[in-house]
Structures are given as structure tokens and as C-alpha cells.
Amino acid sequence: MHIHILGICGTFMAGIAALAREAGHRVTGSDAAAWPPMSTQLEALGIEVMSGYAVEHLQPAPDMIVVGNVVTRGNPAMEYALDAGLPYTSGPQWLAEHVLRGRHVLAIAGTHGKTTTTSILAWLLDHAGLRPGFLVGGVPQNFGVSARLGESPYFVIEADEYDTAFFDKRSKFVHYRPRTAILNNLEYDHADIFPDLASIERQFHHLVRTVPGSGRLIVNGADANLARVLQQGCWTPVEYFDREDGWQAGPAEGGFELRYGGRACGHVASPLAGGHNHSNTLAAFAAAHHVGVPIERLIEAMAGFRNVRRRLERVGEAGGVSVYDDFAHHPTAIAVTIDALRGRDAGRILAVLEPRSNTMRLGTHAAALAASLSGADISYVYARPDLGWDAAAALAPLGGRVKVFQDLDVLVAAVTAEARSGDRILAMSNGDFGGVHTRLLRALQQK
């Protein structure tokens, strides 16, 4: 079967492409733009990616068009498909019908930490010999690909609350029908589709409704918003992390001390920095334990875990200055990422931020941005042309510790001029950020 994917370069849709290719289908796709790591993965898989959304990309007609949620009415290829009566479906629907049906699905939902937690859980099951399938919104370095079909009934999936497609406004995760579901945390986000926090809580409750009574909900016991979700109704046994009667992480050098049900279980050597990553690990431990992995195997596996690309990833060093890349784009994620880097070693942190997500560009979190950057020594913020708010005014509370730029070349020059040996540059964006990491490293080498 020939499957053509519209919006193929998104992290989720590139995973769909990898799964379809592994299943033996001929896969092609279209997108407006592509950047690593997904563009690299698609190229390595031999999947043809066409630039833009030309009608000709659908001639001759594929057997099925899988439509990403980036595609809207008015898109030339989509309008042609509708007029011609070509068969189409959404990515989550295709996944549910062709990959997930009949399998034990372990889904990871939450505002933050989905990608890391999904990667940890896939690795825990793999290390235990269970050979799970998975779809991650990034590239886990333990596997080198964002998705695979697997060789067992288990399938681990990053469960996003964003809408499914222009013709299906339900959250993606309601399609997955998990038997084990992690609710990692919940904050207001995606202001382009959700009017308020309550509307997101309602979507999370829709997910809760799909988990069978013989399954398991793994829930952050310290999150009041998730408590409200469960108060709307719960029909599945609940196990908590970050709570005394569940899974807990105590302070320890090079990782954390694990406790389960009030019982000490041993030291977990973890390569992940920050308390938020301890919570991610606890959630993954609870889910893996639910499907039978012993605690001692979980502890053993974490020593060999390698995080996802673009999650506090050290991409290079020049002139004694280390450059890190991170996907953070929500104020909470920005703050905990800076804090995690601060805990790694000494040296100034020069934060370089692109407010690129739809929610950020709308200005929904503008008032919280200054506080989220306060842990950095100096912050450099790229005020994109499509930013709908005054970045300089919003960041004024930081005083001289923040600089706002409308030109990326000028920003790179300013960061390079300031940086000195021992500094750490932390670039944060949910896009390619104009290749800022490569540009900074090149400029530092020439300094």
C-alpha cells in the first residue's frame, strides 16, 4: 500500500512514517519545512519528503492519505484530496487501527516530560527483554529511531492532548485506548485550542474514561490539577508517584534513593539531572512494574539509559564554552531545565530562548516568562516577527540580565561576545531556531 503523509516532518507524524515503512508500506510525505532530528530519520529510512503541499504530490493518487494536525482547510493538497474523494485519515486513527489494536498500550500523558518518560519506559521494557513497540516525540538515543513496531504485545506511546486533525478535534490520546496510563502533570498550555485549564482537564478525563478497570492509572500525587481530573470519575486502580504511599525519590549523589510504598528499594544511578526527571523516572518505573518488571531490573536499567535528542543535549564545545540544546518552550519547562543545568557543574548559564510555540507566540505565558528565566545569569530572547506581545516589556523585571533581539544574527554575535571559558549556553526552542546551535559553535570557534 502507498501511504502519503501530509505534515510528515512533525515528531509524531515522522514516527507514523517509520512505523508504516517498517510494516511494509511504501511511504512518501509532504511538509512545509524539515529539520533534524526528524528530517535525518526520514532520510535514513529512505522516505521521500516533498517540499510544500503541491497537488502533484498526490498524483497518481496514493492508497491512503494520513493527515497531520498541522494541515488545515485551504491547504492545496488537502483541498485536492477532498475534491477528488481520495481516502484520508488522521495519524492517531491510523495508528489505532493498524498498530495498537489488540496490544497492551502504555500511554504517557502530561504537560511536561512526556518524551523523556516515554523513552525511559520503552528502555526499561526493552532492557527487561520485552522488546516493546514505541512511538516517541523525539529520538531516544538508546534506540536511534523515534518509533518501531516491536516484537511483543506491549506498545509505549507518548500521548499528546493536542487535537487530532482539522476534521477531528478530540485530543490525540483518546484514540490509543491504553491499559496502563501515566498522568505525569497538568498545566495550562495550547492556548490556540484550549480556552482554559478546565477544558484541558476535561480532555484528560476523557483519557481516564478509556482505561479499563483491569488496567492501571499512574498519577502524579503532588499535582492538584490531576486530582481534580480524577474527582470527575475514575474506574481504574490508581498508583501514585511523588507521594508517600507510592513511588518516591529521595536525595542522593548521582541519582536518587528509591522508595516504594514506604519501603527503601535502593539507589538509582541516573544520568538525568533535576527533580523533574526523578519524577519522570518514578512514573516510568511504576508503569514498567505494572507489566511485571521487577524493581531490581528497573534500577539496573537506568544506569544504561541515554536521554532523548534535544533534551538538555550537549551539542558541542568551543573555546571552553559548552552549548546545550533543549526543547523547553513552556515557562515551567524553561525554569526546571535551567535549574537542572545549574546542578550539573559550576559556570555561568547564558540562556538563549525562542518563544516559538503557538501558546508562547500568543503571549499566554508572557507574564510568567521573566520568572522562568531568573535562574540564568544572562538571557537572550529572540523576538520573532510573529510574536504577538512586547517581549522587552514582559521581561523588564530581569533588568540588565536580559537582552531582546529581533535579528538572530545580532543575537548570535551578542552571545558570542559575552561568552567566556567555563560558560554554558542553553538554547531553548520547540523548533530548529534557525540553526542557532551550529551558528553559535561556529562563531565561538572563530572568536
Mind listing the pLDDT tens digit of every residue in the chain (447 residues)?
999 999 999 889 999 999 999 999 999 999 998 777 788 889 999 999 999 999 999 999 999 999 999 999 999 999 999 999 999 999 999 999 999 999 999 999 998 889 999 999 999 999 999 999 999 988 898 998 999 999 999 999 999 999 999 999 999 999 999 999 999 999 877 767 788 999 999 999 999 999 999 999 999 999 999 999 999 999 999 999 999 999 999 888 888 999 999 899 999 998 887 788 899 999 999 999 999 999 999 999 999 998 877 777 888 998 899 998 988 778 888 998 898 888 777 789 999 999 888 777 877 778 888 998 999 999 999 988 888 888 899 999 999 999 999 999 999 999 999 999 999 999 989 877 888 888 999 999 887
CATH H-level superfamily of 313-446: Mur ligase, C-terminal domain (3.90.190.20)
CATH of 2-91, one of 1.20.1640.10, 3.40.50.720, 1.10.1060.10, 3.40.50.300: 3.40.50.720
Cell of 184: 505525569
Architecture of domain 102-302: 3-Layer(aba) Sandwich (3.40)
Q: What is the pTM of this model?
A: 0.82
- Per-residue confidence (pLDDT) for residue 427, from 0 to 100: 92
Instruction: Enumerate long-range contacts of 332-335, CB under 8 Å, 24 or more apart.
Output: 332/111, 332/112, 332/187, 332/372, 333/112, 334/369, 334/372, 334/373, 334/428, 335/371, 335/372, 335/373, 335/374, 335/375
- Per-residue confidence (pLDDT) for residue 224, from 0 to 100: 95
Q: How far is CA 176 from the centre of its chain?
A: 17
Amino acid at 61: A
Domain boundaries, the chain: 2-91, 102-302, 313-446
State phi, psi for 109 to the nearest 5 degrees.
-115, 155
- Per-residue confidence (pLDDT) for residue 37, from 0 to 100: 78
Residue owning grid cell 503541499: 53
Residues 6+ apart with CB under 8 A from 218: 180, 181, 182, 183, 239, 240, 241, 283, 286, 287, 290
- Per-residue confidence (pLDDT) for residue 360, from 0 to 100: 76
Dihedral sign of CA atoms 407, 409, 412, 413 in order: negative
- Per-residue confidence (pLDDT) for residue 176, from 0 to 100: 98
Q: How far is CA 271 from the centre of its chain?
A: 18
Cell of 75: 491547504
Dihedral sign of CA atoms 359, 360, 366, 369 in order: positive
- Per-residue confidence (pLDDT) for residue 253, from 0 to 100: 81
Dihedral sign of CA atoms 356, 362, 367, 368 in order: negative
- Per-residue confidence (pLDDT) for residue 396, from 0 to 100: 92
144 and 150 Cβ atoms separated by less than 8 Å: no
- Per-residue confidence (pLDDT) for residue 255, from 0 to 100: 86
